[in-house]
């Protein structure tokens, strides 16, 4: 099944899957919450955060939807996958990571989510390609992310959580480290490099500016990547799927 990837608009918030609408792992610093009552409506908190970032900075998400039989997506098409990203100043949880801070010239990739799809490998890569394409057009120099290593799954189970990591792994609602932090192996596979090593949460970076002519090179690379995944990043407005 082919898919269309497009910038997330606030009007499409309801198209996001339930977890994506309610997840505030990155958007709320748990240390600022005096009680659980402040998370009575996490969906409202997430929508308010998206509205704030879109108003002050611009697009901060990519949404993948299926094509219909005629090769077009509809306004109410179900979500196949999503990616969120934002300036680090707009991401409170980022300040809690031991491998921070995020570089001043970078935008932070916070999360990627994939729903049921026939292409579990190609769709995440397509979402990253769409994020990169958006940021290149906006003149951003780098994309960074806090990765989650395989060893992080043992925290709190096989291994005790070090005191300095307690704020990092503290969950809100139905969020979890495994679900809300991008896998470091995946980040490495799509070109991110470790700039701040850590056994559990390395900070990783993808350079988006490497001299004259790089934009043309990255656009060609994205085209090859998306061809193999049968995906295409799309700008504002409706358009055909591929």
| Maximum pairwise Cα distance, the chain | 55
Can you read off the two tokens belonging to residue 57? 């900075």
Residue 213, domain CATH = 3.40.630.30
For 96-144, how does the pLDDT look when each residue is reduced to its tens digit (9 = 90+)?
A: 999 999 999 999 999 999 986 666 678 899 999 999 999 999 999 999 9
pLDDT digits (tens, 9 = 90+) for 181-218: 999 999 999 999 999 999 999 999 999 975 434 455 55
Query: Is 239 inside any structural domain?
Result: no
**What's the domain count of the chain?**
1
CA atoms lying within 13 Å on the CB side of residue 59: 23
Q: What are phi and psi of 223, to 5 degrees?
A: -60, -45
Please indicate, yes or no, if residue 241 is contained in any of the structural domains.
Answer: no
Q: Which tens digits make up the pLDDT trace of 53-63?
A: 999 999 999 99
Q: Which domain holds residue 194?
A: 3-229
HSE of 74 in the Cβ direction (CA atoms, 13 Å)? 6
Q: Is residue 237 part of a domain?
A: no
Angle of the 122-137 helix axis to the 214-229 helix axis, nearest 10: 150
165: in domain: yes
- Give the SS3 label for residue 68: coil
Q: How large a percentage of the chain has pLDDT more than 90?
A: 58
Mean pLDDT over 31-48 rounds to 76
Residue at 242 is within a domain = no
Residue 169 within a domain: yes
242: pLDDT strictly greater than 50: no
E-state strands within the chain? 3-7, 61-66, 81-86, 106-114, 142-146, 193-196, 203-207
204-242: buried (b, 16+ CB within 10 Å) or exposed (e) per residue?
Answer: bbbebeeeeeeeeebeeebeebbeebbbbbbeeeeeebe
Task: Judge whether residue 156 has pLDDT over 50.
Answer: yes
Taking a C-beta distance cutoff of 8 angstroms, is the pair 88, 146 a contact?
A: no
Give the other-Cβ count within 10 Å of 69's Cβ.
5
**C-alpha–C-alpha distance, residues 229 and 64, integer Å:** 12
Please tell me the number of Cα atoms within 13 Å of 64 on its side-chain side. Answer: 34
In-domain check, residue 177 = yes
Encode burial over 10-28: b for 16+ CB neighbours within 10 A, e otherwise: eebbebbbebbbbbbbbbb
Asked if residue 238 belongs to a domain, the reply is no
């Amino acid at each position: 099944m082919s898919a269309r990837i497009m910038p997330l608009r606030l009007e499409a918030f309801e198209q996001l899957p339930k977890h994506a609408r309610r997840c505030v792992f990155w958007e709320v610093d748990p240390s600022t919450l005096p009680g659980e009552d402040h998370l009575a409506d996490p969906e409202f908190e997430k929508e308010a955060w998206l509205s704030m970032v879109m108003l002050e900075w611009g697009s901060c998400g990519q949404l993948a939807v299926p094509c219909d039989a005629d090769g077009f997506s509809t306004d109410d098409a179900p979500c196949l996958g999503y990616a969120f990203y934002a300036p680090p100043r707009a991401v409170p949880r980022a300040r809690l990571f031991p491998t921070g801070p995020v570089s001043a010239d970078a935008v932070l990739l916070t999360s990627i989510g994939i729903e049921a799809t026939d292409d579990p490998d190609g769709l995440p890569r397509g979402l990253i390609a769409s994020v990169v394409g958006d940021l290149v057009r906006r003149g951003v120099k780098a994309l960074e992310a806090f990765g989650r290593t395989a060893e992080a799954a043992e925290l709190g189970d096989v291994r005790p959580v070090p005191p300095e990591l307690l704020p990092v792994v503290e969950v809100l609602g139905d969020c979890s480290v495994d679900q809300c932090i991008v896998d470091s192996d995946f980040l490495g596979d799509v070109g991110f490099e470790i700039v701040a090593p850590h056994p559990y949460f390395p900070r990783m970076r993808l350079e988006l500016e490497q001299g004259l002519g790089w934009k043309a090179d990255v656009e060609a690379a994205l085209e090859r990547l998306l061809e193999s995944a049968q995906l295409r990043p799309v700008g504002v407005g409706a358009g055909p799927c591929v």
